[in-house]
Amino acid sequence: MEIVEWSDAYSVGNVLMDAHHRVFFQMVKEFSEAPDQDMRATMQQQIAFLAEYVIMHLAAEESLMREAGYPDIDKHKALHDAFAHKVHAARDAFPTDQGSVSAEVILQTMQDWFLNHIRDEDRKYAPYLRHRP
Q: Which residues bind Fe ion (CB under 5 A)?
A: 61, 122
Query: Min. distance of Cβ 121 from Fe ion in angstroms?
Result: 6
Contacts of residue 92, Cβ cutoff 8 Å, sequence gap at least 6? none
Q: Which is nearer to Fe ion, 104 or 120 (CB)?
A: 120
Q: Which is nearer to Fe ion, 64 or 103 (CB)?
A: 64
What's the min distance (Å) between Cβ of 83 and Fe ion?
9
Whole-Å CA distances, 27 to 1, 47, 85, 102, 129: 14, 10, 20, 17, 25
Cβ closest to Fe ion, residue 11 vs residue 122 = 122
Residue facing Fe ion at closest CB distance: 122
Report how far Cα 60 is from the mean position of its chain's Cα atoms. Answer: 12
**Minimal distance in Å, beta carbon 70 to Fe ion?**
10
Of 40 and 122, nearer to Fe ion (C-beta) is 122
Instruction: Name residues whose C-beta falls within 8 Å of residue 102's C-beta, 6 or more positions apart in sequence.
Output: none
Distance CA 123, CA 103 (A): 29
**CB 17, min distance to Fe ion, A:** 8
